[in-house]
């Protein structure tokens, strides 16, 4: 979702801003723009569509300071007028987030004589800043007032006509970092945009950052403050494609090594995995794939630890009546740590209970605001469709249970540990399967069904989401037992039905459901655990998952579905890493 870049330094700003915008493309966008000072005057260029369209209209100029933006439309259509930067009076600004009270603010600003060209909340924010700040001396105190006026979430990078030497940045609820490097200083929505120049960065938090050519200053309550420099410890390769044709394929291929590293790290530092057995009830709150990982987690926690566990969609949880009690635990699962609904759910939960974040991005809002946090250590995940983060989220639930098994069932914990040691090599084998034939069969269809029961249903939900989000093939998931309550009427000759069979306790029931679809002409692809016996007339194609213990098989089962989705989208020629209308980090509700 919207990306921000800013540069102030020795080099020409234009190519640096464009390159920064390209490195933020993965966040999803539909227009882009830049603004810079040249001869102390602001110039703005913006264009609908890809950054390449923006490049076509740029001119060469002498400039060392500027800001840039990729916009993912929320208020108003994706066109040139609504694209950022927006200039009102002396203020040029780019924005990520949503200003919820922009209507009221607009009314007041209209009365003061401001006029608006776009439909955006951002132009209103630019007018507000212009109204508040008339001279260079008032910038810091004026920007500090925004916190009490704006409702919603925002990250801003701002240029003032009367201060051509500095960029100003502030945020609330939307991500923004600043970084110093040998060629100059940066503002960015995310780390990949600065990695070419530096691994060191600062979080802005509640402060106002002033980015000069050779220094970054932070102000809180109108006083200059000191901030700790942070270092991005992952390999720089984790933000580049490293020879793979797509980030998604690269990220799937990283899974064996990441799982290995994760296990080595946490098995040697088990104290970093909090104990959950003391809680009476656990809630897990998340969105999208993280929600699917949570469903898997809840199933396993209930099965192995006997703790009632409820999974909630963050976008629902935050608005409905809750029954949280002070001895419950709320787990928030989020790759980015910046998903707006999950953040809101966290803040709500904190009023009553303990919170635990399962997060990838270090220093993100959910990581910082949760009382406890487990980092999944997936490195940068760039492809919009999550793969490695999902796998590590599921592994984290497995690990939470493993820690308790050490106390309550040492025998089983030994078995799990033994299987953890096999995990990465088994993932590698699943990655190396030849999926071509199956991919060709599925690619031809407009509709696909995924079925499964219990944990296999949750895995199927993730497989189906992966397929539809990048291949645009319509795909539905059904708890297999629900098929005959209506949906089976949709099965026609050759309709693909992909069934997940890994749960020993229930797979025979699912087999009966597969047979019902086969009897109506379905093409049946079965993804099953090796040890489960099924007759050859149940499937047309078969993918087998190695038979490890439940707490490790759950990590393996999704891998073939991630790869199927990838290869089907590749076969159909789609833009795999940047599916239409989707954003990597959903920072608006």
Minimal distance, residue 315 CB to ligand F6R, in Å? 10
Minimal distance, residue 314 CB to ligand F6R, in Å? 8
Distance of CA 162 to the CA centre of its chain: 38
- Binds ligand F6R by CB under 6 A, chosen from 334, 345, 353, 391: 334
Stretch that binds ligand F6R, among 5-13, 294-302, 332-340, 507-515 (CB under 6 A): 332-340
> Which CB atom, from 118 or from 334, has the smaller least distance to ligand F6R?
334
Q: Which of 106, 388, 528, 584 is catalytic?
A: 584
d(CA 72, CA 552) in angstroms, rounded, equals 38
> Which CB atom, from 385 or from 454, has the smaller least distance to ligand F6R?
385
> Which CB atom, from 8 or from 587, has the smaller least distance to ligand F6R?
587
Distance of CA 50 to the CA centre of its chain: 21
d(CA 337, CA 329) in angstroms, rounded, equals 18
d(CA 99, CA 120) in angstroms, rounded, equals 9
Stretch that binds ligand F6R, among 69-77, 112-120, 253-261, 329-337 (CB under 6 A): 329-337
d(CA 585, CA 384) in angstroms, rounded, equals 8
Residue 59 region by backbone torsions, left for phi larger than 0, else alpha for psi between -120 and 50, else beta? beta
Site string for ligand F6R, 458-497 (x = CB under 6 A): -------x---x----------------------------
Pairing of strands 177-181, 216-220: unpaired
Stretch that binds ligand F6R, among 179-187, 318-326, 333-341, 449-457 (CB under 6 A): 333-341
Stretch that binds ligand F6R, among 238-246, 336-344, 539-547, 549-557 (CB under 6 A): 336-344
The verdict on 562 binding ligand F6R (CB under 6 A) reads no
Coil/strand/helix, residue 409: coil
Q: Which of 2, 287, 380, 554 is catalytic?
A: 2
Q: Where are the beta strands (DSSP E) in 49-191?
A: 65-71, 86-88, 91-99, 152-160, 167-172, 177-181, 184-188
Active site residue 303: no
Site string for ligand F6R, 277-306 (x = CB under 6 A): ----------xxxx----------------
> Which CB atom, from 385 or from 483, has the smaller least distance to ligand F6R?
385
Q: Which residues between 341 and 380 bind ligand F6R (CB under 6 A)?
A: 342
- Binds ligand F6R by CB under 6 A, chosen from 82, 120, 122, 336: 336
Taking a C-beta distance cutoff of 8 angstroms, is the pair 21, 5 a contact? yes
Tokens of 512: 């009966």
Minimal distance, residue 341 CB to ligand F6R, in Å? 8
d(CA 40, CA 440) in angstroms, rounded, equals 58
The verdict on 552 binding ligand F6R (CB under 6 A) reads no
Taking a C-beta distance cutoff of 8 angstroms, is the pair 328, 310 a contact? no
The verdict on 386 binding ligand F6R (CB under 6 A) reads yes
> Which CB atom, from 355 or from 386, has the smaller least distance to ligand F6R?
386
- The CB density around residue 571, as the number of other CB atoms within 10 Å, is 16
Stretch that binds ligand F6R, among 48-56, 171-179, 304-312, 328-336 (CB under 6 A): 328-336
> Which CB atom, from 333 or from 511, has the smaller least distance to ligand F6R?
333
Minimal distance, residue 263 CB to ligand F6R, in Å? 21
Active site residue 414: no
Q: What angle do CA 569, 575, 580 make, to 5 degrees?
A: 100
The verdict on 451 binding ligand F6R (CB under 6 A) reads no
> Which CB atom, from 385 or from 526, has the smaller least distance to ligand F6R?
385
Tokens of 508: 């025979």
Burial of 574 from C-beta contacts in 10 A (0-12 / 13-18 / 19+): middle
Minimal distance, residue 333 CB to ligand F6R, in Å? 7
> Which CB atom, from 307 or from 465, has the smaller least distance to ligand F6R?
465
Coil/strand/helix, residue 560: helix
Size of the site for ligand F6R (CB under 6 A): 15
Tokens of 135: 């001279």
Helix, strand, coil shares of the chain, percent, nearest 5, are 40, 25, 35
User: Which residue's C-beta sits nearest to ligand F6R?
Assistant: 288
> Which CB atom, from 139 or from 461, has the smaller least distance to ligand F6R?
461
Residues 40-44: contacts with CB under 8 Å, at least 24 apart? 40/164, 42/87, 42/92, 42/159, 42/161, 44/85, 44/87, 44/92
d(CA 517, CA 313) in angstroms, rounded, equals 30
The verdict on 335 binding ligand F6R (CB under 6 A) reads yes
- Binds ligand F6R by CB under 6 A, chosen from 187, 195, 343, 385: 385
The verdict on 339 binding ligand F6R (CB under 6 A) reads yes
Q: Which residues between 569 and 588 bind ligand F6R (CB under 6 A)?
A: 585-586
For helices 288-305 and 455-471, angle between their N-to-C axes, nearest 10 degrees: 170
Minimal distance, residue 144 CB to ligand F6R, in Å? 30
Q: Which residues lie across from 87 on neighbouring strands?
A: 92
Write out the catalytic residue numbers.
2, 584
Binding stretches for ligand F6R (CB under 6 A): 287-290, 334-336, 339, 342, 385-386, 465, 469, 585-586
């Amino acid at each position: 979702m919207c990306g921000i870049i800013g540069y102030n330094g020795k080099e020409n700003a234009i190519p640096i801003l464009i390159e920064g915008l390209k490195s933020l493309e993965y966040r999803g966008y539909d227009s882009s723009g830049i603004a810079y000072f040249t001869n102390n005057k602001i110039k703005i260029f913006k264009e609908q569509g890809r950054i390449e369209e923006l490049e076509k209209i740029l001119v060469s100029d002498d400039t060392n300071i500027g800001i840039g933006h990729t916009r993912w439309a929320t208020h108003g259509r994706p066109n040139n007028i609504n694209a950022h930067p927006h200039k009102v009076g002396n203020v040029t600004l780019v924005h990520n987030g949503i200003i919820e009270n922009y209507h009221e603010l607009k009314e007041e600003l209209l009365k003061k004589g401001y006029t608006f060209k776009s439909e955006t909340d951002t132009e209103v924010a630019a007018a507000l800043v212009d109204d508040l700040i008339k001279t260079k001396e008032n910038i810091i105190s004026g920007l500090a007032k925004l916190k009490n006026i704006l409702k919603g979430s925002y990250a801003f990078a701002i240029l003032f006509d009367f201060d051509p030497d500095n960029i100003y940045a502030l945020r609330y609820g939307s991500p923004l970092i600043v970084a110093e490097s040998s060629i100059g200083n940066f503002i960015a929505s995310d780390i990949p945009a600065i990695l070419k120049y530096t691994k060191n960065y600062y979080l802005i938090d509640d402060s106002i950052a002033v980015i000069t050519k050779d220094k970054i200053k932070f102000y809180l309550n109108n006083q200059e403050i000191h901030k700790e420099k942070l270092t991005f410890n992952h390999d720089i390769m984790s933000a580049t494609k490293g020879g793979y044709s797509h980030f998604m394929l690269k990220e799937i291929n990283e899974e064996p090594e990441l799982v290995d590293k994760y296990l080595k790290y946490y098995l040697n530092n088990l104290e970093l995995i909090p104990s959950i057995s003391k809680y009476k009830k656990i809630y897990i709150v998340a969105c999208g794939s993280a929600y699917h990982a949570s469903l898997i987690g809840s199933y396993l926690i209930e099965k192995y630890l006997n703790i009632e566990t409820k999974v909630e969609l963050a976008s629902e949880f935050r608005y409905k009546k809750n029954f949280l009690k002070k001895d419950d635990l709320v787990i928030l699962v989020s790759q980015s740590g910046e998903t707006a609904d999950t953040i809101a759910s966290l803040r709500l939960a904190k009023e009553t209970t303990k919170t635990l974040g399962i997060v990838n991005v270090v220093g993100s809002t959910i990581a910082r605001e949760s009382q406890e946090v487990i980092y999944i250590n997936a490195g940068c995940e760039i492809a919009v469709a999550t793969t490695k983060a999902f796998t590590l989220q599921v592994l984290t639930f497995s690990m939470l249970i493993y820690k308790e098994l050490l106390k309550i069932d040492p025998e089983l914990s030994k078995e799990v540990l033994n299987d953890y040691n096999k995990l990465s090599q088994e993932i590698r084998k699943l990655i190396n399967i030849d999926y071509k034939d199956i991919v060709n069969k599925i690619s031809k269809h407009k509709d696909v069904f995924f079925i499964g029961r219990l944990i296999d249903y949750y895995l199927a939900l993730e497989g189906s989401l992966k397929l539809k989000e990048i291949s645009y093939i319509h795909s539905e998931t059904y708890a297999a037992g629900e098929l005959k309550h209506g949906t089976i009427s949709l099965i026609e000759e050759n309709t693909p039905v992909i069934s997940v069979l890994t749960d020993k306790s229930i797979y025979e029931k699912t087999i009966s459901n597969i047979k019902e679809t086969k009897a109506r002409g379905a093409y049946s692809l079965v993804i099953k655990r090796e040890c489960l016996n099924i007759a050859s007339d149940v499937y047309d194609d078969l993918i087998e998952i190695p038979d490890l213990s439940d707490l490790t098989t759950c990590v393996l089962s999704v891998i073939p579905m991630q790869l199927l989705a990838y290869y089907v989208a590749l076969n159909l020629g789609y833009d795999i890493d940047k599916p239409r209308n989707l954003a990597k980090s959903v920072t608006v509700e």
